[in-house]
Amino acid sequence: MKSICVIGSGYVGLVTATCFADLGNHVVTVDIDARKIDKLKQGIMPIYEPGLEELVERNVKAGRLHFTTSYDDGLAQAQYVFICVGTPSAVDGEADLKYVRAAAQTIAEHMRHPLIIINKSTVPVGTGDWTADIVKKSQPEPVDFAVVSCPEFLREGSAIGDFMSPDRTVLGSTDAAAAQKVAELYEPLKAPIVITDIRTAEMIKYASNAFLATRISFINEISIICERLGADVTEVARGMGYDKRIGPHFLQAGVGYGGSCFPKDVKALANMALTHGMHPQLLNAVMEINDFQRKQIVLKVRDLLGGSLEGKQVGLLGLAFKPNTDDVRDAPALTVARSLMNQGGKVRAYDPVAMETATAELKGLALLDNAYQVAEDADALVIMTDWNEFKQLDMKRIRASMKLPILVDGRNIYDPQVMHDLGFIYRGVGRGYNGEGLHD
């Protein structure tokens, strides 16, 4: 059994702490937010993540997982300390490291024995060296330590599975012995472990997310071309995906990427390139296409409503940036909702789990109890998140309750011909004929 301290009880920190505890380690999670810690002690989760609540409860009962606001308590027995704090984007896209700085300084002030400090937060290349300097300067008296970069690759909605069955673990450090000790923590997961220098490890995280975001923007640009030429992007992507060099992943055309990782990481990588005198042409294009994809949804709704949204009732199904999470950070649905309201539309919405988080982010949005209430007397209905719940709706009932039969499917979850046959004026993303007249 290893003794681990995790700084931060947000998405990455809580999942990391809980999963390490479930592997049999003693884990203490430290957070300066006393309210959050009190709720965790009561078994109330700060985030929605399938399976997490049950896993936390099991490990708390087993005495392996603890929560505190005290760095002294967290570091008392720790051999390893993971920094899992937020790194939000500044206006120019540069990652804001104030929380990492605060964590590093406080660790230094409270450490009384040698520690391995692991950066789990997504941080700019060079932050590992910067963290080491902060710890060294902030120590009241010298205590040995090493800094290791271990970027996270957790997908919201499947984070526990991703932690327990990772594609790989990436470790970077100038201290080979320290990196090897961290590798021992991950060995029970039976996945490849990549050990490299600290800056390369940090870059692997950014390059990975930027590449996935690029695939999404690529297929979304193809979807725009498909609409103009009368092709169906879902079939195009399927045909492409059979090629082993390409594969099917992240080729689902839709409303664009969102969440806490892709938008922030692509911006940060572009900012790093600019700061060092380069012109990140591809990264800029990825971001521009993603922004345009959200605008396209609004344009489709407006065009189908005769060119004006003034006074029109528009229903949104889905607020979270993806299914199986309540995260609405940079969610396409909120961007679309703001734009619709700014143009005079009356917007109401439903999401299975993200209603509370959406309320905190966007005022004036009417939230209803289910999809059928959202559709009632609506001039248009827009699918923004591909929750399974929405794939099983009674679409005849939906059609009958709407004022106008306009359906904009931002996730391509419905068959265009079936929707056309039900009487909808249907528009998907990149579906050239959209079901209209295919068999007339």
232 and 364 fall within a common domain: yes
3-state secondary structure of 281: helix
Domains contained in the chain, number: 2
167 and 299 fall within a common domain: no
166 and 217 fall within a common domain: no
Q: Give domain status of residue 204, yes or no.
A: no
182 and 263 fall within a common domain: no
132 and 252 fall within a common domain: no
List Cβ neighbours of 223 (8 Å cut-off, separation of 6 or more).
233, 253, 429, 430
Give the chain's end-to-end CA distance (angstroms, integer). 68
CA 226 from centroid of its chain's CA atoms: 28
Measure Cα distances from 440 to 417, 421, 422, 437 in Å.
10, 10, 14, 5
pLDDT in the model for residue 433: 67
167 and 242 fall within a common domain: no
Tell me the β-bridge partners of 5: 28, 81
Per-position pLDDT tens, the chain of length 440: 899 999 999 999 999 999 999 999 999 999 999 999 999 999 999 999 999 999 999 999 999 999 999 999 999 999 999 999 988 877 777 788 999 999 999 999 999 999 999 999 888 888 999 999 999 999 999 999 999 999 999 999 999 999 999 999 999 999 999 999 999 999 999 999 999 999 999 999 999 999 999 999 999 999 999 999 999 999 999 999 999 999 999 999 999 999 988 999 999 999 999 999 999 999 999 999 999 999 999 999 999 999 999 999 999 999 999 999 999 999 999 999 999 999 999 999 999 999 999 998 888 899 999 999 999 999 999 999 999 999 999 999 999 999 999 999 999 999 999 999 999 999 999 998 655 544 33
Task: Single out the residue in 167, 195, 223 at which a domain terminates.
Answer: 195
Q: Give domain status of residue 205, yes or no.
A: no
98 and 224 fall within a common domain: no
33 and 103 fall within a common domain: yes
Q: Give domain status of residue 88, yes or no.
A: yes
Query: CATH no. for residue 60?
Result: 3.40.50.720
Task: Single out the residue in 195, 228, 244 at which a domain terminates.
Answer: 195
163 and 239 fall within a common domain: no
Within 67-197, where are the H helices? 71-75, 98-110, 127-138, 159-164, 176-186
243 and 115 fall within a common domain: no
Give the residue carrying structure tokens 């472990």. Answer: 193
Q: Give domain status of residue 39, yes or no.
A: yes
Task: Look up residue 259 and give its DSSP letter.
Answer: S
pLDDT in the model for residue 93: 75
- Whether pTM exceeds 0.85: yes
Angle between the 98-110 and 127-138 helix axes, to the nearest 10 degrees?
40
The domain containing residue 22 runs over which residues?
A: 3-195
Task: Look up residue 165 and give its DSSP letter.
Answer: S
pLDDT in the model for residue 436: 56
- Per the structure block, which two tokens stand in for 70? 């005290």
Q: Give domain status of residue 376, yes or no.
A: yes
- Per the structure block, which two tokens stand in for 106? 């406080």
123 and 220 fall within a common domain: no
135 and 244 fall within a common domain: no
- Per the structure block, which two tokens stand in for 187? 């060995």
pLDDT in the model for residue 438: 45
Task: Single out the residue in 166, 195, 224 at which a domain terminates.
Answer: 195
Q: Give domain status of residue 203, yes or no.
A: no
User: Which residues are catalytic, by number?
Assistant: 261
Q: Give domain status of residue 113, yes or no.
A: yes
* Alpha-carbon gap, residue 215 to 251, rounded angstroms: 6
